[in-house]
Amino acid sequence: MSSGNWSRNLFWSPMAQQLLIFIKNPLLGTVKTRLAKDIGSIAARDAYEQMIRFTLKQAAGLEEGIKQYLYYNHFIDNGDGLAGEKIERKLQKGANLGEKMAAAIKEVSRGETEGIIIIGSDCLELNTTILEEAFEALKQFPVVIGPAKDGGYYLIGVQKPVEELFDGIDWSTDQVLGQTLQILKEKNLEYHLLETLTDVDTEKEWLAFKHWLKS
């Protein structure tokens, strides 16, 4: 699906494809707080750690030419055992999620990238195939988005940094996707939508999707 009249990139170069995995440091009482209300803080933290490991497993299935980064929200933990040496660890910078994503894209792009994708770490329907589809879409569209059923998105990718893409968004609400698409429309940028998936935030969602951890 697309919107706008931006010319597609017919001379795609595969250089500098990059995947940014945003996580929260899995500290007790600070992650999956909605889920914790139902199953307790310890179980919620353990569930989140499993989600992180699952996400990293899906990312590990990508071809080696895609550079991967693990972005922590509080501090870089080199001893957490979450990822191997191939993933570079970095720290999120900014006052809100939008500022953090914009800063991360700017940090890794250095004006030379043609494919940056950011994902979170709490969508158990996300898999390697969908990630591959997202990178493939960036060969034709300047922006790719993976919509979430709660009105946000589980993935966003750009061929190159897009100014204002993360400005004025009501983060953590059901308005995120709609507001983002409105920005793209105003900037006359084409985009591709991936399939809609579910983020895991509640006990019902956890029970419904945790079987994916075995895949």
Q: Characterize 178-202 residue by residue with b for buried, 16 or more Cβ atoms within 10 angstroms of its Cβ, and e for exposed.
A: eebbebbeeeebbbbbbeebbbbeb
Right CATH for 17-214 from 3.30.1330.30, 3.40.50.720, 3.90.550.10, 3.40.120.10: 3.90.550.10
* 2 pLDDT above the threshold of 70: no
Which residues neighbour 198 within 8 Å (Cβ) at sequence distance 6 or greater?
123, 125, 148, 149, 150, 205, 208, 209
91 vs 129: CA distance, rounded Å: 27
pLDDT in tens, 115-154: 999 999 999 999 999 999 999 999 999 999 999 999 999 9
37 vs 190: CA distance, rounded Å: 40
61 vs 45: CA distance, rounded Å: 25
The mean predicted confidence, pLDDT, of the chain is 90
Q: Is the pTM of this model over 0.85?
A: yes
Domain residue spans in the chain? Answer: 17-214
Q: For residues 83 and 47, which has the higher predicted lDDT (pLDDT)? A: 47
User: Average pLDDT for residues 158-181, to the nearest whole number?
Assistant: 95
pLDDT in tens, 78-97: 999 998 778 999 999 999 99
